[in-house]
Amino acid sequence: MNNKQQTADSNLFLQVLSSCRLLFFVLLFVLCSLLFVPSVQAQEAFPGASVQGTTNLMPPPQPPAIPMLDLTIRNPQDGQEVAFSLQLLLLLTVLSLAPSIVILTTSFLRVSIVLDFIKRALSLQQVPPNQVILGISLFLTVFIMWPTFNEIYTNAIRPMASGDLSVENAYREAETPLRIFMFNQLRSRGGPDLSTGERNIVLFMSMRGLDRPRDLTDVPTYVLIPAFILNELTIAFRIGILLFIPFIVIDMVVASALMSMGMIMLPPVMISMPFKLILFILVDGWGLLTDQLVRSFF
């Protein structure tokens, strides 16, 4: 029994030793594969120096071209340079005041005030926004003033850009169409009595101690502009009164109905605003308002 036991143990030991030897060879083969295969692949991927080739590289991007601005300040050499500096300063001043000039010497003033009146008459708070009202006023102003702007461009801006007119002559040529437009809005359109605009001209002329004008040439520009502004405000307020009348009637009817039913705590504006909108849409309010606004300038 002891001999059999020893024989069995010897056979088991030999089998374990064979298995360990096989595992050792397998691990040695894997290790050799990891060490030698990358170098062979690298040699295959990168052949020897005998092979020649070229590579086209993209050129580096050029930096953006930024213009160089040079501002030098020096003493003027003669009177012409002094005059040019003053003209440049005056031009920059006019450009800074350009929005105010456009608003106060064109149809923008009347149109914007009337559109704001219709918004308040309809009891609208945020619709349409003020930016929309100003945008509509701006494009209506361009539509109304287009003949005047076209004449200014043809007689003043284009000749000055081509060098045919000096700055002073271009200013005179640009001033004339604008003065004619303002004077046409100020003069009386029938009837022996003076219009509001003509009375404004006489008022400002008398405040300056000037004689009563006979025609447009006797009215200075610094008198014509404030008279035109007051006239535009007066006309815009008159149109606003006419716009408010039908909507005030609706407010009174709605308020009386609510009072008769005992609904004192209910705001009348909440009930009357839908009726105002219905009336405004049924009569094509925007179309009528725009048509009458444009016709009021011609």
Residue 120 belongs to some domain of the structure? yes
Q: Is 240:115 a contact under the CB 8 Å cutoff?
A: no
Contacts (Cβ under 8 Å, ≥6 apart) of 239: 110, 114, 117, 292, 293, 296
Q: Is residue 114 part of a domain?
A: yes
The token duo for 32 is: 């050799």
Give pLDDT < 50 ranges for the chain: 1-2, 37-46
Res 11: pLDDT: 62
Query: In total, how many domains does the chain have?
Result: 1
pLDDT at 8: 57
Q: Quick one: pLDDT at residue 39?
A: 46
For residues 247 and 274, is the Cβ–Cβ distance under 8 A?
no
Residue 41 has what pLDDT? 46
Residue 289: inside a domain, yes or no?
yes
Residue 9 lies in a domain: no
Asked if residue 287 is part of any domain, the answer here is yes
Q: What is the pLDDT of residue 29?
A: 64
Q: What local confidence, expressed as pLDDT, does residue 44 receive?
A: 46
Can you state the angle between helices 285-295 and 108-121, rounded to 10 degrees?
150
CA distance 258 to 116: 28
Q: Do the domain assignments include residue 46?
A: no
The torsion angles phi and psi of 24, rounded to 5 degrees, stand at -65, -45
In a domain, 7, yes or no: no
In a domain, residue 202? The reply is yes
Residue range of the domain that includes 142: 97-295
